[in-house]
Amino acid sequence: MYCMDIFMLRNWVLMVKYFLLLVFLSPTAFLLAQVVPDTTINPGVKQIDLIDIGQRIVDKNSVYREDVVVNKKGRVHFSAFPAVGYTLQTGFAGVISANAAFFTSAHNHESENVSTVVTSIAYTSKSQIIFPIASSIWTKNNEYNILTDWRYLKYPSPTFGLGGHTQQDSSYNVDYSYIKLHQAVLKKIGTDLYAGLGYDFDYFWNITEVNPPTDRGTDFQQYGLSNTEKASGLSFILKYDSRRNPINPQKGIFANILFQPKFTFMGSDANWQSLLLEFRGYIKFPDNSRNILAFWSYNWFTLGGKPPYLLLPSTAWDEFSNTGRGYIQGRFRSPNMIDQEAEYRFTISRNGLFGGVVFANAESFSDVPGGKYEVISPGAGLGIRIMLNKFSKTNIALDYAWGTQGSSGFFVNLGEVF
């Protein structure tokens, strides 16, 4: 699914969410958080991040970094780190991740969007390989937005069947390899309003059910199990985005309509169409603070035809695997999904190093067959934010969330969840 999340790249590292970064929770980090003061809300208070802390650990006489060339064209703010950890989807895993944020022109940074490039490479204890490359490049005055989402996955992972009535203990693994090549160009047609066209290619191979139940046919088998699945077609995009920094939005609105028809004459296994309707909003609350009340509505529908099983709408199968915190990726799957989320982000340390969040979400998947929405699956949780790069406002996001039927776990991102 070519979610417009990739188009703004709010969530910068596609797979770093799977890793709990314990190295950044050291007592040294907390100690240094107390001694450096805030420049935005409290004049004279320095903002610091993990890079400053690393420099201070190596050299106690080092000074905190100043962005003295922030207005220069091409100035790149680069963030990279290795990590290890554990989450529901991957088991134990290791990853090396990186992102870069920059402006393509020298001026108008208050109105120009940040260009981004991200990548990571991960290997997990479940023999998963995850290698994405993604970019969102804005030309001068935001006239064009050039979007890339390429990735390779070797991805044994659980499936629970179709619809909202599936049970937590009904899972088994499906193993497959996956190549995704999505490209799009958007043109500015009004203030913060864009329209564009893209090409999407998705190919799955070596698809194998691993120890499926033997007392009945699986939903995958009944839906249509094959060794390969291929989708090829176009994306028609209309979006409005008044956010200036999608890594960590402080205000603004994001709205997106994405229509994706797939065609056999372009190489797809079948003709089918999907529609994504998405909205995000950000409000300062209280108004004179840095605290943010954020909302996300993510609604993904099949309009006609029969998408491949592995491309059906599913929990955490948005572009950055973020919907439905509290549930493992793929927990629910069907031709149609509705997901609503809200989050309150608040500061903890005045220097910007630490923040916190509380959040809640609810999603519903249409039944198969029938198409009715009979089950609502809620989730809720809390987390902390640690500033990795104070210039690009990139946070490490560490969340713990609970769902129904005993589902719970850690959810980690580089950048805000939405």
pLDDT tens digits, 314-332: 999 998 889 999 999 999 9
3-state secondary structure of 6: helix
Token pair in block for residue 191? 């203030």
Question: Can you say how many angstroms the Cα of residue 340 is from the centroid of all Cα atoms in its chain?
Answer: 15
- List Cα–Cα distances, 265 to 173, 183, 269, 342, in angstroms: 32, 19, 9, 41
Give the pLDDT band of residue 12 (cuts 50, 70, 90). Answer: very low
Please tell me the predicted confidence (pLDDT) of residue 4. 31
Please tell me the predicted confidence (pLDDT) of residue 50. 87
Please tell me the predicted confidence (pLDDT) of residue 84. 76
* AA letter at 351: N
pLDDT at 109 over 70: no
Please tell me the predicted confidence (pLDDT) of residue 35. 32
Please tell me the predicted confidence (pLDDT) of residue 309. 97
Please tell me the predicted confidence (pLDDT) of residue 116. 83
Among 12, 17, 266, 32, which residue's Cα sits nearest to residue 122? 17
Give the pLDDT band of residue 108 (cuts 50, 70, 90). Answer: low
Q: Tens digit of pLDDT for each residue in 172-225? A: 999 999 999 999 999 999 999 999 999 999 999 999 999 999 888 999 999 999
CA-CA distance, 22 to 83, in Å (whole number)? 8
Residue 273 near residue 260, CB atoms below 8 Å: yes
Q: Tens digit of pLDDT for each residue in 49-104? A: 888 888 888 888 777 777 544 445 556 777 777 877 677 888 888 888 887 878 88
Binning the chain into helix, strand and coil, the percentages to the nearest 5 are 10, 50, 40
* Residue 79 vs residue 162, higher pLDDT: 162
Token pair in block for residue 172? 């088994």
Q: Tens digit of pLDDT for each residue in 216-263? A: 899 999 999 999 999 999 999 999 999 878 889 999 999 999 999 999
How many CB atoms sit inside 10 A of residue 227's CB?
Answer: 10
Domains by residue range for the chain, with CATH: 5-414 (2.40.160.50)
pLDDT at 380 over 60: yes
